Every structure is written in C-alpha cells, then in structure tokens.
Structure 1
Amino acid sequence: MSAMKSQSAMASSLVLCLVSLLMATISTTTCSPQELNPDVNSDPTDRPSGSTGRPETAEMSGGPWRSIQAEMVHKDHPLRAAPGSLSFKERAERDFQSSRRRLEVLRSRQERWLAGGGGLPTYVSNMTTSANEEEYVMMISLGTPAQNFLAIVDTGSDLTWLQCQPCADCFPQADPLYDPSRSSSHANLTCADSACQWFTSQYPDFTHPNCPLESGSSSNASCNFFYAYGDASNTTGDIAIDTIHLTSTDGAVVDVPNFLFGCSQSSFSDSGLFSNDGIVGLGRGGISFPTQLGASFGYIFSYCLVPATGVATQTSQLIFGSAATSNATGIQYTPILSNSTFYFVGLQAISVAGQPLGIPSSVFANNDTDSRTYFDSGATFTYLHPQALDALVTALVAAIPFPQIPITINGVDYCWNASGLTDADIAARVPTVSFNFTGANYDLSYDNTFLTFDDASFCLVIFSVPLGSASIIGNHQQRNVYMVYDLANSQIGFVPRNCDDSVSV
C-alpha cells in the first residue's frame, strides 16, 4: 500500500463525511466506565473464556449497556478515492498485485521462521509500492476535545495506534497528527504503571528495553513500544491512554476513558503497508480494540461486507456488543483454535458441488503453521495450501462448462469465457465451492469465488500460499456474508446475507 495522495479539500471532505456517517444524529448523552483494573494478577475466572487477562476497563454501570456501531469504508469508496479514478478491471488488477505482494509478505514470514524466529524478516519485496493494500478504514475519535482520524481495520493485529505529535519520522496523512497536548484526558503510561508491566509481559517482542520486564518496577520512564508487521513494517512510540468516543446503535455518544493505544512518533514501511492515520487492531490479544471494550460492550463483534460491485458506493457496518447477533438467524459457528492474535479455525475439507475433494487429511491437520487457516479482513483474496488449491482447480476445470482462456490479467491463473451470458446465467452453471470447517460449512457464492468482467470472462480469485505459511480466508470471500467474531466463546460464526441491505440492530 502507498500513502494516500488526497488533495487537501478532499481530505477535509472525507473526515467531515465520515463524522456525518457516524456521529451526526447522536445525542449528547455520555457515560463513563470505571478506571482500568490495576490488578494485573486478578483471577482469570472472572473473565470470559475468550479474554486474555489484560487489565480491563470495568463493566459500565447502569446496564444493560448498548452496543457500538461504526462504518467500514473500502478504499474504492468515493470518501477515499476520486470517483471514476479506476475501472472495475483496473481495480481488480490492482488487487491482484496486492495479493502478489501479500504472498511475498508470507514468504518473508516463512523465511523468518525457517531462520529460527526472532528479529525482522530478511526478505524485502522488490515490487512497486503503488499497490494500495489497505482495504477498509473506520473513523476513530480520541481525546478531549475529540480529534478524528481514519485508521485501517485489521483483524490480524492487536495494537491500535495513531501517528502523534511530535513525530520524528511519520508517513504522510491527510488529517493532522494526533496532538496529546490538546487533550485533557491524555496520559502517557510509565514503566511503573501496571498496564505497562502487563503490556511488556504479554508483548515482549514489541516493547522497548527502557522498561524492565519484571513486575514491580518503579521506573517513571515512558512505556515505549516497538510494533512490527510481517513485511518488516514497524512503528515506535509511547503507550498511552485517552478517552475514545464511540457511537451506540441507538445513536448516543459513548465516552470510554482510559483506552490504551500506541502514540507513534516513528514509522517505517518500504512496502507501502501504512497509509491513512494509523491502525485499529481487531485481533484477539489483550490490547486489541474488541478486547479492551469487551467488559463494557461484550467480547463480540460482527461485520457485513458489501459485494465487490457495491464497495465503490456503499459502506459496510461494523458492530460491537450483543447487537452483533441480534438478527443473525441461521448462523453457523466454528471454534477458534488458538489464543494467538489471529483467528485460526479448523478447515477439514473443501467440496465442489457438495462433493469433498480427495485432499489428504494432513493438509488440514491444523496443528502446525502450514496447515492452519485463519480469517483476515486485511487480505483481499483467499490463499490455500498448494495441494488444496490444485485439487480445487482440477475439480473446477472438470465441472465448468465453458472454455478456459489465456490469461489476460496480471496475477490470475485460471479464467473462462462465457461470452453472451449474464452473471446470473454463469452462476447457475458453475458449481458451488464450500469450505468445510469444524462444525460448520462455509458455502461460497459465485461472486465469492470468481470475478466477472465486461466481456463475460470470469476468473478464479483463490490462490496458492507459499509452503510453510498458513492459509487465509480473505475479505473477497467474506463479502455478502454476515461474520461474527465471538471472543467470549472462542468461535467464529457466518451466514450468507445481502450486505447491500442495511443491518437493523
């Protein structure tokens, strides 16, 4: 991804439009939780099974509490991109290039682990950084008075961070940097703070050596962080707390003090990973956005991504709290398999037209890195173990009643010609692909599996992952699916849904 190159007028319009989307109709009612729990050694049985034991924001008084909502804005929406700047085919080619970059990131991760782990990946992509990789952003409102920002939504990381003043080495962003001096509710944590000591113990690879790992430190030095990503991108700064302003599903403003986040003063990325104003971490770790808010709103969130044809005109709803399942009739759940940041699930088999493919069970062992599968909102497409993809392609080639055509789009390997037919006609003649997870079947629609172009050619948008890397279910395969991430019960749920329709809560 490259840094956003918006004109200043467009940038101002973007923030104002998103503020309008999220906060224009809300009331002035505010409620506050108690202070962060200072006891980092409190009884873990007091928390839901999906909680990781961080110092938490206590349950708000006056419950039952309302749920929280936000809007996920795709990179092709007019709020983020110039209208008509790219055709559908050009957007697809850009996304294929981003997918190739993602494969290189996975290759770097593989090399890191093969080298014994630790340190940053040694492999650096040689691809152009013009492929804008970040898919969705949401508005985050922080500080007293509030300062508004656009941050990337990422289910594959935990830390929420923003670029802050003073910044020694920041990438360009459309909005002003977060200014701690303007917020009366901001505070940097010190090494002596229990929340900092918890952070250093839980994330030892992402902390600065100025804070000792042992508990009971009396140091008043700033609680620093160093947070790295799979492609060697990283950000450095101070761990801080401030009041975050949220919007409830009934339209009220909800103020939550002591939200822990990273105040970044230096960021590095030669792959273009960073753009916008920062990242909202939706992973499973103790500092993630849903875990921090879990005690107040419930350890659960959901989203419903509009299809590829709608991302340029519509936003996608993101809900935290009990309302996440208020109208998820027919939802199926599969267990989350590990306590890591990532949402690993048990892929047991793949079926075409209801028939399981002859893929050895060892490919889906789910007990080592190259056999695991996880859902990732930040990946555009799905990547499977090479042996699984080979079996899938063989079955599709045999079952699809259209001729294969030479590859004309950079990044794809399997395309067919259905000249003269509509999307509905093509979909009726192409078999359904299903991912058979533990206890649940994830049926892909035609639009989840393929992309159709103006000339009625269509291409498979499921790819092969490098050996040694986990398989990924990307956001293209999650569109028009109501997704529920239930951290409390360590499970992920899904049900087909027309995400073009607004989700009532």
Structure 2
Amino acid sequence: MALRLSLLLLLAILPCIVHPISAAANGRALAESVDAAFWLYEAWPRSQKPARARAPNGFAHHLRLGMGTPPLNSTFVFDTVGALPWAQCQPCVHCLPQEGAIYNPLKSTSFVNLTCPSAGGTGCPYNFSYGGDAFTSGYLATETLTVFGRSFKNITFGCGTLNQGYYDNVAGALGLGRGNLSVPNQLGVDTFGYCFAPRATFFFFGSPPQLVPNTIAATTPIVENPALPSGYFVRLVSVTVGPTSIDVPAASDLLIDSKSPFTFLEPATYALVREALVAQLKPLKEASSAACGAVGLDLCFEADNSTNATPPEVTLRFDGDANLMVSEYLVEMSSRRLLCLAMLPSSKGSFPVLGRRVLMGTPVIYDLAKNVISFQPVDCATFGATFAR
C-alpha cells in the first residue's frame, strides 16, 4: 500500500517529510512479518495474556498493547475513524486520567523523536481534533508496539502532551482510519476486521479464511468523503423493519464509527424507522419524551411489559446488496426500567453514523485493496472459532 505524504482526517501538522523512504521499507518489512496471518484475541473472560480487548461499561471497545522497550502495557481505544495512533506522553502539559502509568519516552530505548524541516528541525508537531472540546496535540515520534505478542518497530505515533475531553481512562487511540499513518497502513496489511460482542470481541489484521464454506459475503464499496478523508463511509439504500420496507429518501452515506455506541440516520429515514418500530412493538408502552431525554435517546419503551413483545427483524441494506441484519438495536436501561432504540436522527451539519451497537454480533471485514467492506453472515463465536482452528 503506497504511503502518501499527507495526513488525513482532522489532523493538522506543519508540512514535513516523515522519512518516506524508510517508512515504505518499514511497511514492506512489516507486511512480510505479518505474512498474510492474523492476530486474534478473545476479550472475555480475561486472562494473563499481554494483549486483550474489552468494552468497559458498554462504551468503546478497548485494546491492550505494549508501547516501547521494555513494553509498557496500556489500554487504547479501537478507533475506525482516526488516522493516527497516539498515546498520552510525559511530561504532560495536560493529560487525562488513565488506567496505569502514562508512557514516558525517557524510559524506552526504542523511542525516536521525528523532525520536520518546516519546524526548523526541532520536532514534528501535530494537532488532532475529535470535534467539540476533544483533541490531542503533541509531536510525532516512532516506537516499538507489541500487539498480541508480536513486536513491530518504527511505528509512527502521536506523543500527546496536551489532551482534553476524551475517553474512558485509556492511554490513547489505535487509529485505524484511512491515511498514511493509520495502523493498517503502517503494518502493511490490506485487510482487517473485528466482531463486537458483549463477552467475546475479536480483532484481526491480515487475510481471514473463508468464514462460510462455498459462499462469498456481499460487499459494499467504501465511499470517500472529502470532508472526512480518513473515514470509512458506506451507502445505505434501504431499511426493513419486519414486513415494512423503507427506501432511503436520498443517498445516505454512513460513517462507520467504532467509538459511537449509537447509529445516527438521516432525519427522514429515522422518522420512518421509528414509526415502523412503534407500530410493530405493541403492546409495549412508549415512554415519555422526558424519560427518553433523561437517557439521551429519542425512543424508549417502558420495560415492565417488554416480555410481551417480540422485536421485529431489522435489516440495513447497502449499495452492492450487502445486508446487515441488526439484532442489537434495543438497549435496556435497567436503572430506569426502559428499553430504548439505539438509533437517533443525525443533526444538521453532522455525519450519519453506523455505530457499534448495531454491529454487535456481526463480523465486519475491511478489504482495503478492493476498497470494500463486508458484513459476514456468521456470529462472533463462529468467527472466533474459524481463526482458532
């Protein structure tokens, strides 16, 4: 995969050259070391393995990996939108609370600070915004990362010394988005994927085996969006709710965001989905708008009589005939005795989002060489067992 000299997404860096020749050579070496293999880890139950993935408190899925030499095991958020891996670094101008020690470059023998000619040869600063008041800034460097027991040298990452408004006690983010400094690109792999589940989450990089014998899952093209070049967008064409088929009023490109628990649909599409669910989830009693607003959602039902209703099947249909059968579109708010729809209307000026909750239980595979994504027709247990053979 060719390395480009520009950073993507909302990443602002002073113009600089980040050793393109050595970076390309490093990518080839990494590709050879991966050798079309995969790295796999079952998140729950926890073990003493050096890498693990988890979804604490129902928020973003996390991955534990080692940074530096000797490796400092830290927890990172799994980020399909960000185009840069980054970690909080000492000394901090402002760092957020995190689980475990904050990475200190002075304690690693493999840390290398990068320099940019445009910065006068004194460093290579970066600034990465997640929107709102969430951002990270610092300088670029290279380090050895240990992922699932394998060590990879000279990985470029953001050493964040000024970080704000983010995260769930994590050390940083594992940026998997589209861009020359994203993790898949730096590892030299064309394929990666994952399967989110409440108690067993799987990730892999490399080429997976055929998951269902004698079948090929339908794929949907990755749509590029100049407003967010690092994002993986897929085009939604229709939604079915039980027997009701809903055509999307206009082309709607959804951003796949592993950090977002909820899916955000264009308001017109959302309104039709909501209407169909309310009609088909009777005899559930719809909760008041105040009760829904208290949990930050738009449609909730009183959970007292939820056993008397059978939720209809919901399928999202994408360009290219790729279907995503959604089983986890209702979330129980047990503290408030509510059963809520894990979807919302997108707001003006924001991207519609395909969030993590609707992807639960479905293997998602990114083929970057073919520029397509597939939703595999197997569950997470089958997905994990396939790799364990």
| Band of TM-score, shorter chain | 0.7 to 0.9
Letter in 1 for 2:159: C
For residues 193-272 of structure 1, the aligned pairs below 5 Å read 211=119, 219-247=120-148, 253-269=149-165, 272=166
User: Against the structure 1 CA distance between its residues 391 and 62, is the aligned structure 2 distance closer, same or farther, given a 3 Å change threshold?
Assistant: closer
Aligned residues: 347
* Unaligned stretches of 5+ residues in structure 1: 1-36, 42-53, 77-90, 92-133, 193-209, 212-218, 248-252, 365-370
Write the deviation string for residues 156-196 of structure 1: whole angstroms up to 9, x where unpaired: 1111111112222222223222122222221101114xxxx
Are residue 479 (structure 1) and residue 365 (structure 2) matched? no
Query: What is the deviation of 1:432?
Result: 1.8
For residues 360-379 of structure 1, the aligned pairs below 5 Å read 360=249, 362=250, 364=251, 371-379=252-260
Query: What is the deviation of 1:496?
Result: 3.9
Q: Which residue of 2 aligns with 1:107?
A: none
Q: Which residue of 2 aligns with 1:460?
A: 341
Q: Which residue of 2 aligns with 1:383?
A: 264
Q: Which residue of 2 aligns with 1:170?
A: 95
User: Against the structure 1 CA distance between its residues 386 and 221, is the aligned structure 2 distance closer, same or farther, given a 3 Å change threshold?
Assistant: same
Kept in 2, the 8 Å contact 1:137–1:151? The answer is: yes
Q: Which residue of 2 aligns with 1:4?
A: none
User: Against the structure 1 CA distance between its residues 39 and 290, is the aligned structure 2 distance closer, same or farther, given a 3 Å change threshold?
Assistant: closer
Q: Which residue of 2 aligns with 1:102?
A: none
Query: What is the deviation of 1:452?
Result: 4.6
Q: 224, 233, 238: which is aligned to 1:349?
A: 238
Query: What is the deviation of 1:421?
Result: 6.5
Write the deviation string for residues 215-240 of structure 1: whole angstroms up to 9, x where unpaired: xxxx4221111222111322221200
For residues 27-66 of structure 1, the aligned pairs below 5 Å read 55-56=23-24, 57-60=26-29, 61=32, 64-66=35-37
Q: 174, 189, 205: which is aligned to 1:280?
A: 174
Q: TM-score, normalised by structure 1?
A: 0.62
Identity in percent: 27
Write the distance in 1 (CA, Å) between the matches of 2:247 and 2:96: 48
User: Against the structure 1 CA distance between its residues 38 and 234, is the aligned structure 2 distance closer, same or farther, given a 3 Å change threshold?
Assistant: closer
- Bigger strand share: 2
Q: Which stretch of the first structure deviates more once superposed, 379-388 or 391-400?
A: 391-400
Kept in 2, the 8 Å contact 1:383–1:465? The answer is: yes
Kept in 1, the 8 Å contact 2:34–2:206? The answer is: no
Kept in 2, the 8 Å contact 1:351–1:435? The answer is: yes
Are residue 302 (structure 1) and residue 193 (structure 2) matched? yes
Q: 328, 331, 354: which is aligned to 1:451?
A: 331
For residues 409-448 of structure 1, the aligned pairs below 5 Å read 409=292, 410=294, 411-416=296-301, 422=307, 426-427=309-310, 430-445=311-326, 447-448=327-328
Write the distance in 2 (CA, Å) between the matches of 1:275 and 1:453: 23
Query: What is the deviation of 1:416?
Result: 4.1
Write the distance in 1 (CA, Å) between the matches of 2:385 and 2:309: 29
Kept in 2, the 8 Å contact 1:354–1:434? The answer is: no
Write the deviation string for residues 119-154 of structure 1: whole angstroms up to 9, x where unpaired: xxxxxxxxxxxxxxx512111212122121111111
Write the distance in 2 (CA, Å) between the matches of 1:452 and 1:266: 36
Q: Which residue of 2 aligns with 1:504?
A: 386
Kept in 2, the 8 Å contact 1:415–1:460? The answer is: yes
Q: Which residue of 2 aligns with 1:318?
A: 203
Write the distance in 1 (CA, Å) between the matches of 2:4 and 2:127: 24
Are residue 336 (structure 1) and residue 222 (structure 2) matched? yes
- For residue 181 of structure 2, give the secondary structure of its aligned residue in structure 1: coil
Kept in 1, the 8 Å contact 2:283–2:309? The answer is: no
Letter in 2 for 1:431: P
User: Against the structure 1 CA distance between its residues 468 and 172, is the aligned structure 2 distance closer, same or farther, given a 3 Å change threshold?
Assistant: closer
User: Against the structure 1 CA distance between its residues 328 and 137, is the aligned structure 2 distance closer, same or farther, given a 3 Å change threshold?
Assistant: farther
Write the distance in 2 (CA, Å) between the matches of 1:355 and 1:286: 43
Write the distance in 2 (CA, Å) between the matches of 1:352 and 1:184: 56
Letter in 1 for 2:39: I
- For residue 386 of structure 2, give the secondary structure of its aligned residue in structure 1: coil
Write the deviation string for residues 327-364 of structure 1: whole angstroms up to 9, x where unpaired: 2565321000116211111111222235432542x3x2
Write the distance in 2 (CA, Å) between the matches of 1:355 and 1:439: 21
Write the distance in 2 (CA, Å) between the matches of 1:380 and 1:40: 32
Q: 21, 32, 38: which is aligned to 1:67?
A: 38
Q: Which residue of 2 aligns with 1:327?
A: 211
Write the distance in 1 (CA, Å) between the matches of 2:211 and 2:171: 33
Kept in 2, the 8 Å contact 1:386–1:467? The answer is: no
Query: What is the deviation of 1:386?
Result: 0.9
Letter in 2 for 1:241: T
Kept in 2, the 8 Å contact 1:359–1:391? The answer is: no
Write the deviation string for residues 456-476 of structure 1: whole angstroms up to 9, x where unpaired: 963322111112322111111
Write the distance in 2 (CA, Å) between the matches of 1:457 and 1:38: 48
Kept in 2, the 8 Å contact 1:154–1:376? The answer is: yes
* Unaligned stretches of 5+ residues in structure 2: 7-19, 42-51
Kept in 2, the 8 Å contact 1:170–1:267? The answer is: yes
Kept in 1, the 8 Å contact 2:324–2:375? The answer is: no
Query: What is the deviation of 1:274?
Result: 6.3
Considering only CA atoms, is the larger Rg found in Structure 1 or Structure 2?
1
RMSD: 2.9
Kept in 2, the 8 Å contact 1:385–1:467? The answer is: no
Query: What is the deviation of 1:418?
Result: 7.6
User: Against the structure 1 CA distance between its residues 305 and 503, is the aligned structure 2 distance closer, same or farther, given a 3 Å change threshold?
Assistant: farther
Kept in 2, the 8 Å contact 1:353–1:431? The answer is: yes
Q: 102, 106, 112: which is aligned to 1:187?
A: 112
